[in-house]
Amino acid sequence: MVSKRKIYWKSPLVFVTIGSTQFPFTRLSEAILNCNKIHFNLMHQSYKSNLSEIKLKNLISKADKIIAHAAPSTLYLIANYARNMPLIIPRRYYLGEAVSDHQLYFASHVANCLPHKLRTYVIMDCNILRYVNNYLSQKDETNILKHYLFPRFPRSLFKRSFENLLYQSKINE
């Protein structure tokens, strides 16, 4: 299904979510502000958890492009409600963006779950401006995250898998 915005040649709607933590995500904010490839309408850049779940789902489902931090709950919503593949950028501990590198570990897990050609949507590099520019100017790719990240299997199995991932990340810190 083609968006009405594309039929009338309007700028794409971009949803940027950076979570509700008190840590700044200056790297992503600056990349968005310095983006020069195309014109776009920025729908929302969340700094606080001031969006209801319904509003968040609505924004995700309307967006043509989504740029997100690598939080599991955020990616779960994106996997289930976004039309197109998001650009996933983990917050980094050593840059003062998070309390630990848990998002980096989860992003690595996400990349390993995806087919090779879709791993380009998970950005592990700290210099993100060119990735954001490329993402905003490229053709939309259908969102298939839910097939790879959150397949339909018993909740207890997912919980054990996720707990194992967290345990491994603590060992590596």
pLDDT digits (tens, 9 = 90+) for 77-99: 999 999 999 999 999 999 999 99
Express each pLDDT in 2-47 by its tens digit.
555 454 556 778 888 888 778 888 899 888 888 765 556 555 455 5
To which residue do tokens 């210099």 refer? 127
Q: Is the pLDDT of residue 132 over 80?
A: yes
> CA 74, 99, 129 angle in degrees (round to 5)?
60
Task: List pLDDT tens digits, range 145-159.
Answer: 888 887 665 555 666
Q: E-assigned strands of 19-132?
A: 41-46, 65-68, 87-88
Give pTM, 2 decimals: 0.79
- pLDDT more than 70, % of the chain: 73
**pLDDT given for residue 146 in this prediction:** 86
Give the DSSP H or E segment for 147. helix 145-148
CATH 1.20.120, applies to 10-172: no
With contact defined as beta carbons under 8 Å apart, do 65 and 165 qualify? no
Contact between 142 and 121 under an 8 Å Cβ cutoff? The reply is no
Q: So what's the pLDDT on residue 38?
A: 55
